[in-house]
Amino acid sequence: MPAPRPHDLLFTHRPDAFTADGVRPDWLDPRAPLVVRRAATPPGIVPAGARGLQRNERCKGHLALDAVASIVTPRMLAARAQAATGDLPCIAALRALAPRLDLLGVDWGPTGGAGYWLACGLPVLRATSDLDLLVRLPRRPAAGVLAALAALQDGQPCRIDIQLDTGAGGFALAEHARGGRVLLKTDAGPRLVDDPWEAA
């Protein structure tokens, strides 16, 4: 099994393995995956977050790596995007954008509520839900690729939030497109950097 990376979804074969400050949330559905988050942890421990069906049901915690039964990556969810059914704006946008993202030849996938829904089917999406997308770019792409990614956000039926992941950290495409320094989220915490690809 590959090492979990931020934004991957984890299914566990031990429902009690995830805890937040030593306590398992009583609202957490045993069918629900956990999302890998950014944080420094000892070997064998994965920083993870849990979500329930309501917006106020979110928490951060940890999971032992040996409790992970399977990993679902955003890239794996991208393969399900065009077959996704439903008339919610975020799902309609996902279906429309999937072929355009594939043509760019980047490692991409849905995260957030849309990714969670594709992975487990639990009803977490609403008519007002954003579409969160992750694009993994371990090397600096051509300027045309970043411009094409930014253009995907125009004319969609919902707000699109695209996060770029360099492998050393993640940042918002919209923030990078404005110019200047960007907030790079890393395992050691957020950092303001001039160049996210040089920051490692």
Cα-Cα-Cα-Cα dihedral of 84, 85, 86, 87, to 10°?
A: 80
Residue 176: HSE in the Cβ half-sphere, 13 Å Cα cutoff: 21
Distance CA 110, CA 112 (A): 7
Q: Give the residue numbers annotated as catalytic, written as ranges.
A: 130, 132
Tell how strand 45-51 and strand 189-193 pair up: unpaired
Return the structure tokens found at 3. Answer: 């090492």
